[in-house]
Amino acid sequence: MKKDAKPEPPHGVIEVEGLAMNGLLKSFRLEDCGKPKGYQRIVAEAVDGRILRTGCLEPDAARREVMVMNLYLRQWSKFILKPGR
Protein backbone atom coordinates (compact mmCIF):
# COMPACT_ATOMS: atom_id res chain seq x y z
CA MET A 1 0.00 0.00 0.00
CA LYS A 2 1.32 3.45 -0.84
CA LYS A 3 2.29 5.74 2.01
CA ASP A 4 -0.48 8.26 1.31
CA ALA A 5 -3.10 5.69 0.24
CA LYS A 6 -6.12 5.20 2.46
CA PRO A 7 -6.94 1.62 3.47
CA GLU A 8 -9.96 0.19 1.71
CA PRO A 9 -13.09 -0.39 3.78
CA PRO A 10 -13.99 -4.02 4.56
CA HIS A 11 -15.36 -5.96 1.61
CA GLY A 12 -18.22 -8.42 1.70
CA VAL A 13 -17.54 -12.14 1.75
CA ILE A 14 -19.61 -12.49 -1.43
CA GLU A 15 -17.30 -10.06 -3.26
CA VAL A 16 -14.14 -11.91 -2.23
CA GLU A 17 -15.77 -15.27 -2.96
CA GLY A 18 -16.81 -14.04 -6.41
CA LEU A 19 -13.24 -13.04 -7.22
CA ALA A 20 -12.05 -16.50 -6.14
CA MET A 21 -14.72 -18.18 -8.26
CA ASN A 22 -13.62 -16.24 -11.33
CA GLY A 23 -9.91 -16.88 -10.86
CA LEU A 24 -9.15 -13.29 -9.87
CA LEU A 25 -7.44 -14.00 -6.54
CA LYS A 26 -3.77 -14.82 -6.09
CA SER A 27 -4.06 -15.88 -2.46
CA PHE A 28 -6.01 -15.48 0.75
CA ARG A 29 -5.59 -16.19 4.45
CA LEU A 30 -7.41 -15.86 7.75
CA GLU A 31 -6.45 -13.11 10.18
CA ASP A 32 -7.59 -12.60 13.78
CA CYS A 33 -9.89 -9.65 14.35
CA GLY A 34 -9.00 -9.12 18.00
CA LYS A 35 -12.53 -8.12 18.96
CA PRO A 36 -14.80 -9.94 19.34
CA LYS A 37 -12.37 -12.56 20.61
CA GLY A 38 -11.95 -15.55 18.30
CA TYR A 39 -13.49 -13.85 15.27
CA GLN A 40 -11.52 -13.81 12.01
CA ARG A 41 -11.47 -11.97 8.72
CA ILE A 42 -10.38 -13.09 5.28
CA VAL A 43 -7.49 -11.15 3.78
CA ALA A 44 -7.11 -11.75 0.04
CA GLU A 45 -4.76 -10.52 -2.66
CA ALA A 46 -6.37 -9.97 -6.06
CA VAL A 47 -4.47 -10.56 -9.30
CA ASP A 48 -4.37 -6.78 -9.81
CA GLY A 49 -2.48 -6.38 -6.52
CA ARG A 50 -5.35 -5.09 -4.39
CA ILE A 51 -5.58 -6.34 -0.82
CA LEU A 52 -9.16 -7.03 0.26
CA ARG A 53 -10.31 -7.61 3.83
CA THR A 54 -13.72 -8.86 4.85
CA GLY A 55 -15.50 -7.88 8.02
CA CYS A 56 -15.08 -10.05 11.10
CA LEU A 57 -16.67 -13.50 10.89
CA GLU A 58 -17.53 -16.13 13.47
CA PRO A 59 -14.75 -18.77 13.52
CA ASP A 60 -16.89 -21.55 12.01
CA ALA A 61 -18.18 -19.26 9.25
CA ALA A 62 -14.63 -18.10 8.44
CA ARG A 63 -13.39 -21.70 8.14
CA ARG A 64 -16.34 -22.64 5.89
CA GLU A 65 -15.64 -19.67 3.61
CA VAL A 66 -11.98 -20.65 3.34
CA MET A 67 -12.95 -24.21 2.37
CA VAL A 68 -15.28 -22.91 -0.34
CA MET A 69 -12.70 -20.44 -1.64
CA ASN A 70 -10.08 -23.21 -1.77
CA LEU A 71 -12.40 -25.20 -4.01
CA TYR A 72 -12.94 -22.19 -6.26
CA LEU A 73 -9.25 -21.39 -6.59
CA ARG A 74 -7.99 -24.93 -6.97
CA GLN A 75 -10.75 -26.54 -9.02
CA TRP A 76 -13.25 -24.16 -10.60
CA SER A 77 -10.98 -21.34 -11.67
CA LYS A 78 -8.99 -23.61 -14.01
CA PHE A 79 -12.09 -23.92 -16.20
CA ILE A 80 -12.25 -20.17 -16.86
CA LEU A 81 -11.22 -19.25 -20.37
CA LYS A 82 -8.42 -16.70 -20.52
CA PRO A 83 -6.91 -15.00 -23.56
CA GLY A 84 -4.24 -17.12 -25.22
CA ARG A 85 -5.49 -20.45 -23.83
Range of the domain at 41: 13-76
- Helical packing angle, 59-74 and 13-21, nearest 10°: 20
pLDDT band at 4 (very low <50, low <70, confident <90, very high): low
Is residue 31 domain-resident?
yes
Q: How many domains does the chain have?
A: 1
CATH number at residue 67: 2.40.50
- Residue at 39 is within a domain: yes
Report the candidate in 25, 21, 26, 31 with the shortest Cα–Cα distance to residue 57: 31
Residue 32, beta-bridge partner list: 40
Residue 8 lies inside a defined structural domain of this protein: no
User: In the beta sheet, which residues pair with residue 28?
Assistant: 44
- The whole-number pLDDT of residue 1 equals 46
Q: Is residue 5 part of a domain?
A: no
**3-class secondary structure, 27:** strand
Give domain status of residue 62, yes or no: yes
Express each pLDDT in 9-57 by its tens digit.
668 888 998 888 888 889 999 999 988 889 999 999 999 999 999 999 9
Q: How confident is the model at residue 59 (pLDDT cuts 50, 70, 90)?
A: very high
- The pTM assigned to this predicted structure is 0.76
pLDDT in tens, 60-73: 999 999 999 988 88
